[in-house]
Amino acid sequence: MKKALYILAIAVMAAACSKGSRVNPDSAAVGGYSTYNSSPVGQYMMSIADDLVAGALTELETSFLLEKSEVTWNSRFKGMTIVKADEMDDTWSLTYEGQLTMGGSTYETRFSIVATREVVQEGQHADWTVSVSGTRAEREGYSCKFVGMGSLGYQTGGSRTGWNQIYGKLSMDVFKDKARIDTGLLVFNGAPSAAQFVRGL
C-alpha cells in the first residue's frame, strides 16, 4: 500500500513538472516595475490614457467625417472644440470643459490635447502623437491634475478597433481638499497592458 501511494505521488509530481515545462519562454518574465492594475491610482491613470485621450482621438476622427469643429453629436465629449493648428499641418487642438464620464463615473473635467496625425491606414484609426494636460474633480474633495511628460504616441499596430500600442509617460498628482496626497507615473512602451506604474514620486 505504501509503495502504491509513493508511485502515485511521483506520478503527480511528474505531471506538474511537465505542465511547467510548457511555459512559453518568450512570454514568461519576472521582475520589473509594478503593473498599473495593482493600484487604484494606476488604474485611474490608465482610464485617463484610455477613456479620456483615446476617446477624444476617436471623436476627433469622427469630426473629420462630419466636417465639424465641435462635438455636437451624441457623445461623452459633447462640447469639445476642435481647432486645426495650421492649414498645412495635420495638427489639431482639442479643448474640453464639463461633466465627463470616465471609468463609469461622471465629474467635472478639463483638458487640453494637441494631436498630430502621423500615419493614416485605410479603414483604420490614424497613428497620433499627442500632448495632454488637464484636471478632474472627484467626490469628497478629491481631485487630480495630469500631464503627459513630453508626447504620447498612439499607434494602431494593425488594429481596426483602436490603438494597441502606446509610447510615452503620463504623470498625475492627487489632491484632497487642494493638498497633494499622492503622485503617480505611468510609463508606456508598447502594449497598454504592459504599462509600468510608479507611485509616490
Query: pLDDT tens for residues 142-189?
Result: 999 999 999 999 999 877 788 999 999 999 999 999 899 999 999 999
Contacts of 198 (CB under 8 A, 6+ apart): 33, 34, 184, 185, 187
Burial profile 6-31: b = 16 or more Cβ within 10 angstroms, e = fewer: eeeeeeeeeeeeeeeeeeeeeeeeee
Better-predicted residue by pLDDT, 87 or 79: 79
CA gap 52, 54 in Å, rounded: 6
Q: Which three cell numbers stand for residue 145?
A: 491634475
What letter does residue 70 receive in the DSSP assignment?
B
**Does the model's pTM come out above 0.85?**
no
pLDDT in tens, 113-141: 999 999 887 767 899 999 999 999 999 99
Mean pLDDT, residues 17-32: 40
CA gap 51, 49 in Å, rounded: 6
CA gap 11, 20 in Å, rounded: 14
Q: Write the DSSP assignment of 134-158 as a string of letters.
A: EEEE-GGGEEEEEEESS-EEEE-TT
pLDDT in tens, 33-67: 556 656 788 999 999 999 999 999 999 999 999 99
Query: CA 42 from chain center: how many Å?
Result: 10
What number of residues does the chain have?
A: 201
Contacts of 70 (CB under 8 A, 6+ apart): 79, 80, 81, 82
Exposed / middle / buried, residue 105 (Cβ in 10 Å: 0-12, 13-18, 19+): exposed
Residue closest to 149 by CA, chosen among 171, 176, 172:
171
Residue 88 has pLDDT above 60, yes or no: yes
